Amino acid sequence: MHRIELPALWPGVDAGLMFIGDRIGGEDSRLSRAMKRVHQSRCARSLAVELLAQQGIDAKQICKGPMGEPLWPTGCVGSLSHTDQHAAAVVARNTACRALGIDVEEDAPLPPDTDALILRDEERGQLDAVREVVPGADRLLFCAKECVHKAIHPLRGAWLEFQDVAVRLDIDAGRFTVHPATPPARHAFDGLRSEGRFLQHEGQLLAVLVLF
């Protein structure tokens, strides 16, 4: 396992990506699927502890709540994500922002027939141009929408569907914007300002959303 250094995204917000490795996370691992997920989750939580330490916060561990959600130290916000081979985390003090969401995904197209669940009609027009730079352009939209859920639910208690928001990608700037598209989303985002950024790293997509 090794830590992949990421550029600073926003003042007071620290994000990290960790390569877990093929031996434990890959297809050849002898661990059961459930045990793999336990290991991946532990890696993400361990990374979050490291990031909090960078901010002078001594968190021995990130515990789980009743639904498996991460329980952050008082005065802190954060988010976790993991795949078979990567773990990701983002943290901040709640004086820097109100909520955070992070998601890491493989830079590859989504499985067939899933775009109808995830994409809104107004989002489809940008995909052809984006795919020239990001092969998994539709998965990047999915990634961004996962960030929305991870940020908005802990803050507002809202369960938004993929179709509740529209995401616009700015490939040149490595940014994305989130636009509430339904009454539940507009209610959930009321009074909030959001900013999103994404990175590509060795075949992976990393998206981070911050709510102010």
Bridging pattern class, strands 63-64 and 194-201: unpaired
Q: What is the pLDDT of residue 17?
A: 95
- Residues facing residue 19 across a β-bridge: 2, 86
| Statement: the pTM of the whole predicted model exceeds 0.85 | yes
Q: What is the pLDDT of residues 29-71, one digit of tens each?
A: 566 778 878 888 999 999 999 999 999 999 999 999 998 899 9
Given pLDDT bands bounded at 50, 70 and 90, which one contains residue 24? low
Q: What is the pLDDT of residues 127-168, one digit of tens each?
A: 988 998 898 999 999 999 999 999 999 999 999 999 999 999
| Count of domains forming the chain | 1
Residue 34 near residue 9 (C-beta atoms within 8 A): no
Domain of 13 in residue numbering reads as 2-211
Decide which of 3 and 54 is more confident. 54
CATH number where 13 lies? 3.90.470.20
How many contiguous H segments (helices) and E segments (strands) does the chain have?
A: 7, 11
Q: What is the pLDDT of residues 157-189, one digit of tens each?
A: 999 999 999 999 999 999 999 999 999 999 999
Residue 148, classified by CB atoms within 10 Å of its CB into exposed (0-12), middle (13-18) or buried (19+), is: buried
